[in-house]
Copies of this chain bind each other. A is one copy, B any other.
Amino acid sequence: MSTLKDVARLARVDISTVSRVLSGDPKQVAKEETRERIIAAAKALEYRPNQVARSLRSQSTSTIGLIAPQLSDFAFTTMLNGIENAALKAGKGLLVVGWDFRGSNSDSKREILLHLLNDGIVDGVLIAFATIGDEFAPILLSSKVPIVIVNRKSKLIGASVTVKDGEAVKTAVEHLTSLGHSRIGYIGLKAGTTTVADRLEGFYSGMKTMGLEVREEWMASGPYPDPDSGNTPLASIIDSSKRIGLPTALIVASVRSAPQVISEMSERGIKVPLDMSVIGIGDTEFAKITSPKLTTVWLPFEKMGQKSVEMLINAVEGKELIDFKLPDSPRIVLRDSTGAPRQ
């Protein structure tokens, strides 16, 4: 590969002049003739600036880091789209780090985090969907680069992008109520994130608004580590509902669990939606491949991805960061897993 030096030699100018012409230089400070000579030389030599040298000199990499659950976790694809698009549009590379790895331990995570945050390889870091334990708090706090958290708030990092999680669950309650349901259950998640809390809170508040009674027996928490492991949230609901009977509808707060809930129901001979309606919070591509197809509450996940990248880039450029909640209202995506309750 040719370098600035080669171009300079061929164009018979100093490398600084080449640099000015080829990069910086918004004001085009260079004689037209020189410019042309330099550009011709660069073309002839197929010159391409070395990004690493540039990064070292300018102390910025034009790359952002993304910490995500195992990349292969197919539960958050929509948001990833938004991140990819926004990064591409901004001309930033994406250095992706899988988090909840099979076989990854606390020490290796520590090391990866320190490396990503402090060793100059990225200009900023996005933490998306991955749950990072308190043990890593000091590392996050002493980060050299700015951090934006996606899909939940954090007291540590005053920079986050979230969506109207609570309202989404309320919307689900309303939808089910309008179909005639009053016996509504809830499968949540165990993680201690604001998102999980907001959704649960939305459930209580939605039920209250609709004048419905919340029954502990109809509530359980995921995740579904293994649907074959026996003790699933659905199993626990069935178990504890023996006296009062089953709910006629279930809100599944984690979209990742919803297909598994449906699948487990079909194994148990529970017909969806005839015996029980199921609605997932958050819309994803794979809601279309379950059977019956999953009714969901859409949330602006793609926008959340985009916005998080934009915020991070702003932060890199020195702007103050804030917690931001996207104003987009949740809405029902009607498919086949919800219907009127059986008489």
Contacts and interface: CB of A to CB of B under 8 A. Distances in A.
B52 A61 contact: yes
Contact of A72 (B55, B84, B97, B98): B84
A177 interface: no
A95 interface: yes
A101 B121 contact: no
A341 to B, nearest CB: 21
A293 B262 CA distance: 12
A107 interface: no
A51 B121 contact: yes
A52 B120 contact: yes
A291 B290 contact: yes
A74 interface: yes
A231 interface: no
Contacts of A74: 74, 77, 285-286
A144 B112 CA distance: 28
A260 interface: yes
A100 to B, nearest CB: 11
Contacts of A55: 52
Contact of A289 (B48, B103, B259): B259
B48 A56 contact: no
A278 B59 CA distance: 55
A16 interface: no
Contacts of A274: none
A58 to B, nearest CB: 10
Contacts of A227: 288
Contacts of A88: 98, 101, 104, 108, 112
Contacts of A118: 1, 48
A25 interface: no
Interface of A: 1, 48-53, 55-56, 61, 63, 70-74, 77-78, 80-81, 84-85, 88, 93-98, 101-104, 108, 112, 114-115, 118-121, 144, 227, 259-260, 262-263, 266, 285-286, 288-291, 293
Top 8 closest pairs, chain A to chain B, by CB = A72-B77, A74-B74, A259-B289, A51-B119, A291-B291, A72-B80, A96-B96, A84-B98
21 contacts: A48-B115, A51-B119, A51-B120, A53-B56, A53-B120, A70-B81, A71-B71, A71-B80, A72-B78, A72-B80, A72-B81, A72-B285, A74-B77, A74-B285, A81-B102, A88-B98, A93-B95, A93-B97, A96-B96, A262-B289, A263-B289
Given A52-B56, A88-B101, 20 more contacts: A48-B119, A50-B56, A51-B115, A51-B120, A52-B52, A53-B56, A71-B84, A72-B78, A74-B286, A81-B102, A85-B103, A88-B98, A93-B95, A93-B97, A94-B95, A94-B97, A95-B96, A266-B291, A289-B289, A290-B291
